[in-house]
Amino acid sequence: MSETIVAPEAGAQTSDEEVPVLFLHGVERHYQQGDATLNILNGAELAIWAGQSVALVAPSGAGKSTLLHIAGLLEHPDHGEVYIDGRATAILPDSERTRIRRNEIGFVYQFHRLLPEFSALENVIMPQMIRGLSKSEAAKRATELLGYLGLKNRLTHRPAELSGGEQQRVAIARAVANAPRILLADEPTGNLDVHTAEHVFNALHQLVRASGLATIIATHNMELAARMDRRVTLQEGKVVEME
């Protein structure tokens, strides 16, 4: 039976829910590099409630991607636990962790990772059909999402026919196509110019607000980070709240 944990006390809590959607508790992650041990995460704690956006700001190599991978159940922590809606996930079989990733967590990366041979619409339809929706249901939701993100005239275009900003907006639509509870974004505007990054961030932020997602966005852009509900950084492997 999965362990359930009571939400930690947190002044940053903005929801009336008692349990955070995502809670990293005492997470440790270490890597061996020759004879040396790299302590990337060392007792990291982070709780995020529904509708709350958190900017993860830290220099390269500090462990941002590692934290996102563990939060998204792509990696196991060496110690500690990741709770999704109060449910411990470390002890779950791989099949259940995969189901949670598919249905409860959306991912956006620095590079869009769209399937090049498929149109924008097809890229957003596909994860829904994998989940079990009919093609007509998936197409309806995909069309609505892409239209919401300003891409209603680009549905049949393949990734190579889209601009960088348009590609990222398709990637965002794909990430939320299955109505996840959690959205994890790793430098989603890192490859874009300032103007395009602003446009993509606005689209992402608006979608987060409208859908009530619990969101972590790793970014180097302090101007964008300042517009999110909370800002955290990594210091000596621990998550530290920023003012």
Region 77-88: what's the mean pLDDT?
Answer: 94
Residue 190, in any domain of the structure: yes
Residue 15 has pLDDT above 70, yes or no: no
Report the chain's terminal Cα–Cα distance, integer Å: 39
Residue 221, in any domain of the structure: yes
Share of the chain above pLDDT 90, in %: 56
Give the total number of structural domains in the chain.
Answer: 1
Short-list 12, 11, 6, 47, CA closest to 26: 47
Domain around 173: 22-241
CB of 170 within 8 A of CB of 120?
yes
Short-list 102, 74, 100, CA closest to 88: 100
pLDDT tens profile 176-202: 999 999 999 988 877 778 888 887 888
Output the pLDDT for position 199.
79
Residue 26, in any domain of the structure: yes
Region 216-229: what's the mean pLDDT?
Answer: 88
Output the pLDDT for position 113.
84
Residue 19 has pLDDT above 80, yes or no: yes
pLDDT tens profile 37-75: 888 999 999 999 998 999 999 888 788 999 999 999 999
d(CA 188, CA 109): 5
Residue 6, in any domain of the structure: no
Residue 75, in any domain of the structure: yes
